[in-house]
Amino acid sequence: MTCTRPRVTMPLINHGPSRRLMAGVMRRNNIPMTYHPDMSNFTMVASGDYVRAVGWLHPEHPYPRGHACWKFRWRLRRFVRRADESTEELGWGSFRGSHTCEFCGRGSGYRNFGVPAGGILFVAPEMILHYVRWHRYLLPVEFIEAVLSGPLPGTAEYGRAVLCSGGAISRSRGVVAAAM
């Protein structure tokens, strides 16, 4: 499967939803999304030289916009639907509470998943699919390629890719850690 990267509109300054909308979101006991810049080495579930954060958006930070091809959206949906299997394979714990989209207040999610690609593990929240579909979030081309070509969680290939991801990812007492 191949997708071409469309022209990106950057930067988009999104001033976020209205205070009234956000008051309703917070009344439902949802917690705000933790922001991590795309391709940074730290997320709330994993960190290290092998980690690349994608999809940790927040209204106070601009993000690239564009159209993602249907093949990528379809494949990303499959990764999101298997987030529990990814979490189990990577040894990540579960998070309590959900996150509601701070841009529109409609989408919500609480899970995270990983996409192994060579020596890299892309780490994303399940809200990434909502951001792509409804807010035209355009992900880094490296992540798009990894989603299109990588094994799906719950398969033997996924387990091998996680274990062989540059030798940097290991399961240790339920926590993903950088090998020393």
The position carrying tokens 């579930």 is 45
Q: How confident is the model at residue 93 (pLDDT cuts 50, 70, 90)?
A: confident
Q: How far is CA 55 from the centre of its chain?
A: 4
**3 lies in some domain:** no
**138 lies in some domain:** yes
Range of the domain at 108: 19-178
Pairing of strands 108-109, 99-100: antiparallel
CB 169 within 8 A of CB 49: no
For the chain, the domain total comes to 1
**12 lies in some domain:** no
Q: How confident is the model at residue 156 (pLDDT cuts 50, 70, 90)?
A: very high
- For Cα atoms 85, 89, 95, give the angle at the middle one, nearest 5 degrees: 70
**173 lies in some domain:** yes
Q: How confident is the model at residue 165 (pLDDT cuts 50, 70, 90)?
A: low
Q: Which of 152, 179, 31 is nearest to 96 (CA)?
A: 31
**2 lies in some domain:** no
Neighbours of 146 (CB within 10 A): 22
What is the pTM for the complete model shown? 0.76
**77 lies in some domain:** yes
Q: Which of 106, 83, 94 is nearest to 153 (CA)?
A: 83
- Residue 98: the pLDDT is 79
- Residue 119: the pLDDT is 86
Residue pLDDT, tens place only, 100-148: 898 998 888 889 999 999 889 999 999 999 999 999 999 999 999 999 9
- Count of all residues that appear for the chain in the document: 180
